[in-house]
Homo-oligomer: A and B are copies of this chain.
Amino acid sequence: MLVQKYIDMLGAKSVIRDLAGKAAERGREIGYENVFDYSLGNPSVPVPDQINETMIRLIGTLDSRSLHGYSPNPGLPEARDAVAASLEGRFGIPYKRDHIFMTSAAASALAHAFRLVAEPGDEILTFAPFFPEYGPYVNLTGAVLKVVPADTATFQINFDEFENNLNEKTMAVLINTPNNPSGIVYSEDTVKKLADILRDAQKKYSHAIYIISDEPYREIVFDGKEAPCISKYYDNTIMCYSYSKSLSLPGERIGYMAVNPAAEGADIMVSMAVQISRGIGHNCPSSIMQRAVAENIDLTADLSVYETNMNLLYDKLTGLGFTVVRPGGTFYIFPKALEEDSVAFAQKALKYDLVVVPGDSFGAPGFFRMAYCIDTEKVERSLPVLERFVREEYGV
């Protein structure tokens, strides 16, 4: 018999995918260049030439059995060493090979992290607005994702609601800064306060509570800043990283889980992850991709276009009177819709070939997400359309 819980999931529609489908359909009618598709978070900047050059060099110089051969379960030693050295150099935390577990990008890092710390019935908290996949990612492990309502004024953390939701079943707090969908970067104050509350809760409930820090947008931060490194503020931190955005490599599925050396159990967590892999069918990311990133460990694609696009949109949106928190990073912006029903708002925008995603999917109804990982030229062409849309529909 087929397992019913997966059949039951088939009915549910993804709003984002549905909108992307509509955008594609409209694109076939009027030319995709005329559809202002802000629905999908797909990197739009090219992969750096060095990655492709490294791959070609590896294919040309390494013995094929070695290049394409099995890597040990936690990943290639040279890849783990490169990640550890880079993190240590950058954040001053003594990561070593044994703290690094190479994964098939962030989704896989998260799948391991959840299973490290939570069993069926345990709770993992996250903060709205949040990446909607966190729901099935966590709930299908048997643990329960609890969503703390958003602080809609700042999209930092709503600490009162957070403390209301913490309890003895909380085994981890899942954070995502820089954040999808808000573009917000948690301030140092936010991270410090989060860490203080969790240290108190650990004492109160007499067990570790881990921060699982999902950081695919870590390198996309604006105004020359850096996102606070969570492990600096809280020992029990598991970092989940992906090269999907920083190197525009989402299809190659390459990333890692990095355990803070100061975490409780840091010496065994990567070995535990190897056991977890056996149950979920993970057996290392692609060998050639592990080598390609290891040899270009501090490289990023030219991410500056995202900041350019953000500024264009932010200035236009505020000029039109939108309430919007200025993004500190990512390639998302999350303004308040001009009516309470953000689904209706997004539907009206569609008539102008503007594709935006209602905030309901992200646990923040009344807002909408624009993913501006598109060409700047297109962002520019979309601005007068955005203006016409809000003038005609909302008399702004």
The residues of A with any CB-CB pair to B shorter than 8 Å are 1-3, 6-7, 9-10, 42-47, 52, 55-56, 59-60, 63-65, 67-71, 103-105, 107-112, 115-119, 133, 136-137, 139-141, 171, 207-208, 248-253, 264-265, 268-269, 271-272, 275-276, 278-289
B64–A47 CB distance below 8 A: yes
Please, which residues of chain B bring their CB within 8 A of the CB of A70?
42, 250-251
CB atoms of A68 and B268 under 8 A apart: no
Whole-angstrom distance between the Cβ of A248 and the nearest chain B Cβ = 6
Structural contact, B108 and A284, CB atoms closer than 8 A: no
* Residue pair B171, A108 in contact (C-beta under 8 Å): no
Chain B proximity of A281: nearest CB distance (Å): 3
- Docked pose: A68 CA to B221 CA in angstroms: 23
> A65 — which chain B residues lie within 8 A by C-beta?
43-47, 248
Of B117, B249, B280, B285, which one neighbours A2 at CB under 8 angstroms? Answer: B117
> Are A171 and B6 in contact, with the CB atoms below 8 A?
no
Given A3-B117, A69-B251, A252-B286: 5 more A-B contacts, CB < 8 Å = A56-B59, A70-B251, A136-B279, A139-B279, A280-B281
Please indicate the chain B residues that have their CB under 8 angstroms from the CB of A280 in the complex: 111, 140, 280-282
Max count, chain B CB within 10 A of own CB: residue among A63, A265, A276: A276
What B residues does A268 contact at CB under 8 A? 2, 7, 10
**A118 (CB) vs chain B CBs: closest residue:** B3
Contact B136 A285 (CB under 8 A): no
Name the distance in Å between A242's Cβ and chain B's nearest Cβ: 10
Cα separation A110 to B103 with both chains bound (whole Å): 18
Quick one: which of B42, B264, B278 contacts A137, CB cutoff 8 A? B278
Given contacts A109-B281, A272-B6, A284-B253, contact A55 B52 (CB under 8 A): no
- Residues in B neighbouring A56, C-beta threshold 8 A: 56, 59-60
Assess whether B278 is in contact with A136, with CB atoms less than 8 Å apart.
Answer: yes
Residue of B at shortest CB range from A8? B275
The CA-CA distance from A257 to B204 in the complex, in Å, is 47
Whether B250 contacts A68 by the Cβ 8 Å rule is yes
Assess whether B275 is in contact with A104, with CB atoms less than 8 Å apart: no
List chain B residues, Cβ under 8 A from A275: 6, 9-10, 136, 140
With A6-B115, A116-B6 as given contacts, are A1 and B52 in contact (CB-CB < 8 Å)? no
A111 to chain B, nearest CB (A): 3
The residue of chain B having its C-beta at the shortest distance from the C-beta of A137 within the complex is: B278
Q: Do B115 and A251 touch across chains, with their CB atoms under 8 A apart? A: no
Nearest-CB residue, chain B, relative to A287: B251
Contact of A252 among B141, B282, B287 (CB under 8 A): B287
Q: Are A283 and B2 in contact (CB under 8 A)?
A: no
> Are A282 and B108 in touch, CB under 8 angstroms?
yes
Q: Are A117 and B47 in contact (CB under 8 A)?
A: no
Complex Cα distance, B281 from A60, in Å, reads: 32
A276 near B6 with CB under 8 A, answer yes
Residues of B within 8 Å of A272, CB to CB, are 2-3, 6-7, 9-10
Inter-subunit contact B111/A271 (CB<8 Å) = no
**Are A279 and B64 touching (Cβ within 8 A)?**
no
Q: In the assembled complex, which residues on chain B have CB atoms less than 8 Å from the CB atom of A140? A: 275-276, 278-280
Q: Which residue of B is nearest A66, CB measured?
A: B251
How long is the Cα–Cα vector from A59 to B46 in the complex, in angstroms?
A: 12
CA–CA, A195 to B14, complex, Å? 39
A269 to B287, CA, bound (A): 29
How far in angstroms is the closest Cβ of chain B from A272? 4
How close is A270's CB to chain B, nearest CB, in angstroms?
11
Point out the residues of chain B lying under 8 angstroms from A283, CB to CB: 104-105, 107-108, 253
A59 CB to closest chain B CB (Å) equals: 5
